[in-house]
Chain A
Amino acid sequence: MGNTISITGLGIICAIGNDSGSVVDSLRSRRTGIGAMRYLQSRHVDLPVGEVKLSNDEMKEMLGIDTKLTISRTSLMGAIAIRQALESAGIESIEGKRVALISGTTVGGMDLSELQHAEMMHTNSYDYLLQGNECGRSTEEMAELLGLKGVECCTISTACSSALNSIILGSEMLKRNEVDIVIAGGSEALSRYHLNGFNTLMILDKAQCRPFDATRAGLNLGEGAAFVVLEKDKADGLAYVAGYANRCDAFHQTASSENGEGAYLAMSDALSMARIEPKDIAYINAHGTGTPNNDASESQAIIRIFGDSIPAVSSTKSFTGHTTSASGSIESVISILAMQHNFIPANLGWESSGENTIVPTMGCDDVVMDNVICNSFGFGGNDSSMVLSRYPVEHVVPEGEDYEFEVVADECVESVEELAALREYISPLESRRMGKLMKAAHLSTLRALKRAELNCPDAIVTATSRGMLDISMQFLEDISINQEELLKPTLFMQSTHNTISSAIAIRNKCYGYNTTYSQGEDSMLWAMRDAERLIATGKAATVLVIEFDESSPILAKAAEYLNVEPPKELYSRSIVLKRK
């Protein structure tokens, strides 16, 4: 064997089970985990959710942690899934090994941030306020909880495709021998923050979600975590990563294009990498959120690729709810379990065929599957697909020397005063919704692209420690002041960390690779590493890298209170790398 990526371990915790065995049982007996809210504290009790059926204290007990410690639910679920994954891979010690822990999350420790925000006015305490925005902290916390010393932590935040992009990154790192073992996946706890956010977009169904059904009326949010252990050229894998692609729909921040271009590109390029034909796919675990828009768009993409011979398709979000940033790994693990146990999961809730939508499977047993596709699409059109296979699949690794790069543009914006210059590029009407960080990133990027004489880079990679902090804090405040009613969709739709990478892609119609790293001060290192890798392997000839962060009134106040240097009010740097 030369270049295979084995999945040697897996772990999962979600609404239908706290480990892989119970998840398989629930799937086979068609038992959904979506129901009335029990753990999340929200006024919207009429919205069904897919909660993990454990309190935070119960999870701490499972992990053998003092229940008095304050730890976000995202980190707790993540640690549980990682521990299972390492156990299932038979890895007892990682000493002497180069190990990367790559996790996808967007909400991070927002469960703690929102509690603290509500209390802050009285306590002047800021300990957890930024936990939601500093996604990288949740990954580091998972490593600490499990005593995984010396692991490299990396966090990807591309909204609902985050966890699948983590597995993609891990595979790329293994192919280039950057590490020996990868633990990749994602974790996301339900929060009032994103429940209310999705509610402002009016895409939550008050009934059980019905993906692909004619009467589908939205999604149900869920939560959970799943991780896989990846190793190179290891025999007896549970399954193998055969192909993958990360592409951008470049259409709209919160809607998918009618013809599903991003999804089409992601699936077809994943098939190409796996060097198999559409007819070789036995099952598609669809993104299938249950919103009228996603399911119609994804159906079109599937029809464009598979024509009249569409394989079995189901959305297991009808079991788990939409676990947002964790969905890519939760559904990859479900796909692997389905292959291992020879069954196809059902698409619960489907009754009637909708216009222009595919007809999903009602599930079946005793079916041997060699190749399956898992789809994971996120806000901003961050669309990724992965082909998972029962048997080892050799990856083609380019021969010869790595390509080298040169920096052809490097532009910085560091103050609010400079933003007036954005007018040269964008009309006030077009920038009406943009917060100051969005404006700064557009300005530095459009200047850099102009200097590089480039409109559409092959890949866009962004790096941010705290993402859209000011907008997120405004939305938290909106939730507190307005008691979870009449909130502003404009705030939520640009609050995810990948907002900038996708906004640039949408503006300049860049359908290529698009990702966002959020690992504190290391965010830019990870982004540059990815950019170099994309160029070295010939995947991109031009890469736009954007590093951005901002302060907010609350952060400035916290810095004053804690007597530390206040963070920069505004910072955006855009670099264009070009293959030599």
Chain B
Amino acid sequence: MEELILELKEHIIDALNLEEITPEDIDNDAPLFGDGLGLDSIDALELIVILDRYYGIKLANPAEGKAIFKSITTIAEYVVANRTK
């Protein structure tokens, strides 16, 4: 799990171009959207691309992302349960 969490953070930092943020800066359980890291709906679409590209998970409706993308931990749990690659 820890390995997956680090990998996820690296993908997110890269895809969202989060300059100056390191994996250690992102709290596993802090909210990614709103008050936390401050991501928005376009970032959520990038996260959907990450799930598809690296883990073979396809989300048909962006609204599904809301629960999945709460924090790094919730994404990791979803990936473990649903990954096809």
Contact = CB atoms under 8 A, between A and B. Distances in A.
A210 to B, nearest CB: 15
Contacts of A432: 16-19
B19 A255 contact: no
Interface string B43-58: 0011011001100000
Nearest to B65: A202
Given A202-B62, A429-B38, A489 B49 contact: yes
A472 to B, nearest CB: 17
A252 B41 contact: yes
A254 B20 contact: no
A486 B41 contact: no
A381 B62 CA distance: 21
A489 B20 contact: no
B58 to A, nearest CB: 10
B1 interface: no
Nearest to B21: A429
Given A428-B19, A432-B16, A486 B49 contact: yes
B52 A486 contact: yes
B42 interface: yes
Contact of B17 (A200, A217, A255, A433): A433
A255 B45 contact: no
B18 A253 contact: no
A487 B49 CA distance: 8
Max chain B C-beta neighbours (<10 A), residue from A253, A487, A489: A489
Contacts of A489: 42, 45-46, 49
B64 to A, nearest CB: 10
Nearest to B20: A428
A255 B17 CA distance: 21
B18 to A, nearest CB: 6
A200 B49 CA distance: 9
Interface in A184-220: 200-202, 217
A490 interface: yes
A173 interface: no
B9 to A, nearest CB: 15
Contacts of A252: 40-41
Contact of A490 (B21, B46, B48, B61): B46
B41 A200 contact: no
A37 interface: no
Sort chain B's interface into a size bin: 20 to 34
Contacts of B21: 429
A395 interface: no
B18 A200 contact: no
B45 A202 contact: yes
A202 B42 contact: no
B41 A488 contact: no
Given A489-B42, A490-B42, A202 B17 contact: no
B41 to A, nearest CB: 6
Interface string A465-507: 0000000000000000000001111100100000000000000
Interface string A107-129: 00000000000000000000000
Interface in B1-50: 15-21, 37-38, 40-42, 45-46, 48-49
A254 B17 contact: no
Contacts of B15: 488, 490
Contact of B42 (A217, A253, A429, A486): A253
Contacts of A488: 15, 46, 49
A200 B62 CA distance: 11
A486 B15 CA distance: 12
Contacts of B17: 432-433, 490
A304 B80 CA distance: 47
Contacts of B38: 429
A428 B41 CA distance: 18
A396 B42 CA distance: 43
Given A252-B41, A432-B16, A432-B18, A202 B48 contact: yes
A433 B52 contact: no
Interface in A82-139: none
Nearest to A433: B17
A493 B42 CA distance: 8
A482 B63 CA distance: 25
B59 to A, nearest CB: 8
Interface in A419-457: 428-429, 432-433
Interface in A400-422: none
Nearest to B53: A486
Nearest to B16: A432
Nearest to B17: A432
A456 B17 CA distance: 29
Contact of A433 (B37, B41, B42): B42
A201 B62 CA distance: 9
A47 B63 CA distance: 20
A377 to B, nearest CB: 17
A429 B46 CA distance: 16
Contacts of A429: 18, 21, 37-38
A432 B46 CA distance: 13
B46 A255 contact: no
A543 to B, nearest CB: 29
Nearest to A255: B41
Nearest to B49: A486
A253 B42 CA distance: 9
What 3 pairs across the A-B complex have the smallest Cβ distances? A489-B45, A428-B19, A202-B62
Given A428-B19, A490-B16, 4 more contacts: A202-B61, A429-B38, A432-B16, A489-B45
Interface of A: 200-202, 217, 252-255, 428-429, 432-433, 486-490, 493
26 contacts: A202-B48, A202-B61, A202-B62, A252-B41, A254-B41, A255-B41, A428-B20, A429-B21, A429-B37, A429-B38, A432-B16, A432-B17, A432-B19, A433-B17, A433-B42, A486-B49, A486-B53, A487-B49, A488-B46, A489-B45, A489-B46, A489-B49, A490-B15, A490-B17, A490-B42, A490-B46
